[in-house]
Structure 1
Amino acid sequence: MFIVNLTYVKPLEEVEKHLKDHITFLNKYYASNNFICSGRKNPRDGGIILCSAKNKEEVNEIISEDPFHKNGVANYDVIEFQPTKYSEGFKEFVE
């Protein structure tokens, strides 16, 4: 399991230009069950994606498709963790 921490490196006006395509990207990986949840940080200086993937290389391949990445809008910090305690509803996401 991975936490993908996006930090915007461009003004929000530039982020907004790529938001529609970013949402399409998110939807693709929700459909493949790689993304579990995502959202904006508060204050709005980036976002968080909770991602299920085989390894960090797979996460990096996924990130490479993000329009925010392709257009240099955000930097990405990928944090791997092993869930050891979780609610019953989260169980399906843990391998």
Structure 2
Amino acid sequence: MFVLELTYTAPIEDVDAVLEAHVAWLDAQYEKGIFLASGRKDPRDGGMILAVSEDRAAIERIAATDPFVGAGVCAYRVTEFVATKTAPELERYREAPR
């Protein structure tokens, strides 16, 4: 499982100019079953995404296609973790410790 942390690198007005395309990109990742949750940070200086994939390289490739990245308004930090405990609704994403 992965936590993707977005940090805005441009003024919020520039971020908002690309927001509609970013939301459409998010929707596409949800449809593929890759993203589980996402939202803005508070204060609004970026966002967070919880994602699933078999490998980090795939997640990094997906993040690179975010319209925010293409517009140069955010940077990503990707953190991988092993989800050994989950809420019942996320049970299928549990992993054995490595």
Structure 1 residue 26 corresponds to structure 2 residue 29: no
Q: What is the deviation of 1:87?
A: 1.2
Query: Equivalents in 1 of 2:30, 2:89: separation in Å?
Result: 17
Structure number with the bigger relative contact order (C-alpha 8 A, sep ≥ 6) is 1
**Partner of 1:90: helix, strand, or coil?**
helix
Q: Which runs of 5+ in 2 are unaligned?
A: none
CA RMSD of aligned residues (A): 0.9
Query: Equivalents in 1 of 2:67, 2:90: separation in Å?
Result: 28
Q: Give the percent of matched residue pairs that are identical in Structure 1 and Structure 2.
A: 39
Query: Equivalents in 1 of 2:63, 2:89: separation in Å?
Result: 26
Range with bigger deviation, 82-91 or 31-40: 82-91
Q: What is the deviation of 1:43?
A: 0.2
User: What is the TM-score of this pair, normalised by structure 2?
Assistant: 0.93
Query: Equivalents in 2 of 1:45, 1:62: separation in Å?
Result: 21
Query: Equivalents in 1 of 2:47, 2:10: separation in Å?
Result: 13
Off by >3 Å, runs of 4+ in structure 1: none
CA contact (8 A) 2:83 2:93 kept: no
Q: What is the deviation of 1:92?
A: 2.7
**Partner of 1:36: helix, strand, or coil?**
strand
